[in-house]
Amino acid sequence: MYKNALPVYLMFCITLLIVMVFSVDAHSICSCNSLPGPSPGETVVTVNNAADLQDEIDNATGPKTIYLQNGTYYVDTSWWITVTNPDITIRSLSGNRDDVTIQGEGMGPKPGFGIQVYESRITIADLTIRNVGNHAIQVSKLSSVQTDDLLFHNIRCIDTGEQVFKSSGGNMYNGIIECSVFEYTSTMNEGCYTNGIDLVGTHDWIIRDCIIKNIKGFDCLAGPAILVWPADSGITSSGTIVERNYVIDCDMGIALGNAWAAGINHTDGIVRNNFIKGYSDSDFGIAVIKATNTQVLNNTIYSPGSWPYSIEVQFSESSNCLIMNNLYDEPMWLNRFGSNNPTLTTNYQYSSSSIFVDPSAGDLHLNSGSYASINDTGTSSPHRITDIDCESIVSNPDIGADEYHGSSTVTPTSTNTPVFTPTPIPTPTTGPWPGFQLCARLNLISVPFDNESLKKAGSILTVICSGRADALWRYNCITKNFESWTTLDTGDGWDCSPGTPLWVNITGTTMCTWKPTGNPIASLSYNLCNGMNVVSLPVFSTSINSADDLLSDIPGCNGIWRWKKDTNCSASAGFDGFFTISLPSENFILFYGSGYWANVNSSGTWTPPNP
């Protein structure tokens, strides 16, 4: 069982690479970098009007990326963009969400959407949707089709007649809404039936790194800026993570559950690391409503409004609730509408907003590390390992969303700064090769030197991290299969020549260092197959520093992938990709001795350069 389980995990990770299925990661680092380009073999097209966009969606027979040229794409009260095929990506060609606008006929009481999504594995990125009668984006499902694995990245949705972003129908799994803006440019002028993000009957969705602004009703309170609750059919939402968001000048803040829905509304939710700034007529900052097993961790609330409560826990169904390390200015209302008795741990009610950098603008970063009741007085949690800026937690955490590190971070604004900002590729440090910093579980490495004691799989296993390695795999591009060797096998194992890329599994929970030695290699070559291959970057190839260098050097190569944990052991299991059509901002550095996946369009040989 053990020998079979490891290859299954590895094949799952490789499947992530090949089909580019994103994963939901509760502890990912801040995720507002540009998305990778299309995967190998994916259809790629460019359009410049809404009709052609719809045609490309309807005609898709497999994975397809549809790039939108700069301009305005018009929809109306009887026709809008509808996605009824799976594996579709819709994104602007420039990567700047200001450059592409899907625009309706106004947010008055009329039908109309920007985009409706009815299928799985859909990505919508780098564009604006505005002035529609119902929802900028609606996610739903047809009777026999699941609508799962969705990504909404770097979008701006403005001025809609009802909820700005809406899911409906229930039982939709694994969605991510990130790095986006949902707002009204003025007070909603048609009643108050709206929310910023409204999820119904969803499971394991993440809402992160977003700005939700000015969600207000005309003559009554609008719904919460973020609301997650059950479907009409009684499907309870679950597993939602709401983190690192700025909620600014909304009638209500973040709510897991809805008082009008019967029974348990939500289970196993986490609300952490959010800034919530109210205004003179705002209601609660955070509400737990008929939601069980909820954790409200390290949020900062500034609510100078008419409603005198910042955090509420409502109804007896809200059992097993933990409220910890929150920083707030108005009291909590616990046991509202029924006994729920939440656990309270190291929360703090402050008396003056002068502790913040710019509270009126929603910048609730701490302006000092000298607040005795706030700094280093919180309680650690495995469910909160970084702050709102993805900065690390040192010693005991500060109370609130911001971990003070000696300087303040500027509040993000809803002026759409392009995500694609070219970043210079660092030059690798010169000097002796530093060896491998190996993470717990999978790593993609090689044996970079000629050493007789490291030419068999069995002997390699015994020396990596003093015996912590328990399995190796090598990839055969001809059969497209992996060959394994584990500590349960007997004998020396298969031959392993210098430079052979190897997947290695490290046991335990901590990283380790392995620095193999031997005679330097002056030259080696790789026989490449048409399709996916694994190569390593020799320590002598110092002229190759980044993904674009490697892509240009390998004959016929159109894509390079790096294992994410090669740069950060806390990263999710998956790959960063760089392609012939990628932008400079998508480039990434390489590490000598590490292994990389490369896709080539014909078989041949690659001889790495020296240097």
First to last CA, the chain: 44
Alpha helices in 465-521 (DSSP H): none
Which residue(s) pair with 576 in the sheet? 562
The C-alpha atoms of residue 323 and residue 343 are separated, in whole angstroms, by: 6
CA distances from 52 to 43, 46, 454 (A): 15, 9, 57
Question: Would you say residue 305 has pLDDT above 80?
Answer: no
| Residue type (1 letter), 417 | T
pLDDT score of 290 = 95
pLDDT score of 384 = 93
10 Å CB burial of residue 478 (0-12, 13-18, 19+) is exposed
Q: What percentage of residues in the chain have a pLDDT greater than 70?
A: 90
Question: Would you say residue 21 has pLDDT above 80?
Answer: no
Residues 6+ apart with CB under 8 A from 609: 541, 543, 544, 553
Query: Which pLDDT band holds residue 398 (cuts at 50, 70, 90)?
Result: very high
Q: What angle (nearest 5°) sits at the alpha carbon of residue 183, between those of residues 182 and 184?
A: 155
CB burial of 221-258 (b: ≥16 within 10 Å; e: otherwise) equals bbbbbbbbbbbeeebbbbbbbbbbbbbbbbbbbbbbbb
pLDDT score of 109 = 72
Question: Would you say residue 236 has pLDDT above 60?
Answer: yes
Is there a contact between 533 and 526 (Cβ–Cβ < 8 Å)?
A: yes
CB burial of 418-431 (b: ≥16 within 10 Å; e: otherwise) equals bbbeeeebeeeeee
Is there a contact between 486 and 500 (Cβ–Cβ < 8 Å)?
A: no
pLDDT score of 137 = 98
Q: Which of 6-20, 112-126, 512-526 has the lowest mean pLDDT?
A: 6-20
Helix (H) or strand (E) holding 51, with range, is: helix 50-58
Query: Which pLDDT band holds residue 283 (cuts at 50, 70, 90)?
Result: very high
Q: How much is the average pLDDT of 172-179?
A: 96
Is there a contact between 211 and 249 (Cβ–Cβ < 8 Å)?
A: no
CA distances from 566 to 224, 467, 524, 561, 590 (A): 40, 20, 23, 11, 9
10 Å CB burial of residue 166 (0-12, 13-18, 19+) is buried
DSSP character at residue 404: -
Place of tokens 């995990």: 9
The C-alpha atoms of residue 236 and residue 143 are separated, in whole angstroms, by: 19
Q: Beta 441-446 vs 501-506: how paired, if at all?
A: antiparallel
Tens of pLDDT, residue by residue over 306-337, are 788 999 999 999 999 999 999 999 999 999 99
Q: How much is the average pLDDT of 444-463?
A: 90
Question: Would you say residue 433 has pLDDT above 80?
Answer: no
pLDDT score of 427 = 34
Alpha helices in 398-546 (DSSP H): 457-463
Query: Which pLDDT band holds residue 411 (cuts at 50, 70, 90)?
Result: very low
Question: Would you say residue 254 has pLDDT above 70?
Answer: yes
pLDDT score of 528 = 94
Query: Which pLDDT band holds residue 218 (cuts at 50, 70, 90)?
Result: confident
The C-alpha atoms of residue 210 and residue 178 are separated, in whole angstroms, by: 6
Question: Would you say residue 421 has pLDDT above 60?
Answer: no
The C-alpha atoms of residue 274 and residue 271 are separated, in whole angstroms, by: 8
Q: How many helices (H) and strands (E) in the chain?
A: 4, 50
Question: Would you say residue 416 has pLDDT above 70?
Answer: no
DSSP character at residue 384: B
